[in-house]
Amino acid sequence: MKHFRELVIIAIATISIIAAGCAKKKVAAATPPPPPEATAPAQQTAPAPQSTSAMPAPTQSTPAPRYPDAATRKRIDELLARIEDAYFDYDKAALRPDAVSTLQSDSEELRDILKDYPDYKLTIEGHCDERGSAEYNMALGEKRAESAKDYLVQVGIPGDQLHVVSYGKEQAQHCTDDSCWQKDRNIHIVAMNQQ
């Protein structure tokens, strides 16, 4: 019987150990996961009803004007009048320093206006004094106008808005001295006859 008691005690101890082990497993398996981080619930608001009378009418996109209005054309004319004629040395087409100063004075503002109106064009007229042949002066007048155009394009005026024409000696004054001839060796910038 002593032996039987020992067996019962061993059996009870074994069952207790097994039960304790199973209980731990059950507790570990039954442990809930950690709670998720608390975040504020997203507030959903219903859009306010819009009345059709308060809705602005849909606007049609109108293209930007390609030609300046009267006030802008007036400003361009003022700038062109202030850009005095640029003068050249005898038989030369290179811009002199005083000619560069003349062109520079208002060409940047002119550039800022013209870039917004791609259909508005200017003509750079090249002129010569009366000395030399008509053919030679036509070519020289064109070179002078091209020199001015190159400068204006460097300033940023679009080249396709600048037209070059040579009048050679066609509009030259009848002179007898260099001070008079000097006035004929120039370029002049005008607005092209538009539309």
pLDDT value of position 90:
92
Strands 86-87 and 162-168: unpaired
Residue 153 has pLDDT above 90, yes or no: yes
pLDDT at residue number 20? 57
3-state secondary structure of 43: coil
Distances (CA, A) of 59 to 32, 55, 56, 62: 60, 12, 8, 9
Domains assigned to the chain: 89-191 (3.30.1330.60)
User: pTM of whole model > 0.85?
Assistant: no
* Amino acid at position 190, single letter: V
**Angle in degrees, 0-180, between the axes of helices 134-155 and 97-114, rounded to the nearest 10:** 60
What does each C-alpha distance from 181 to 1, 3, 10, 170, 188 come to in angstroms? 149, 146, 136, 13, 16
What dihedral angle (degrees, nearest 10) is formed by the CA atoms of 20, 26, 30, 31?
A: 40
pLDDT confidence tier of residue 128, bands split at 50, 70 and 90: very high
Structure tokens of 73? 């054309």
Instruction: Give the residue-averaged pLDDT of 64-81.
Output: 86
Tens digits of per-residue pLDDT, 73-119? 999 989 888 887 889 999 999 999 988 988 887 888 999 999 999 99
Q: Which of 53-57, 58-62, 103-107, 152-156 has the lowest mean pLDDT?
A: 53-57
| Nearest Cα to Cα of residue 192 among 138, 124, 126 | 124
Parallel, antiparallel or unpaired: strands 162-168 and 186-191: unpaired
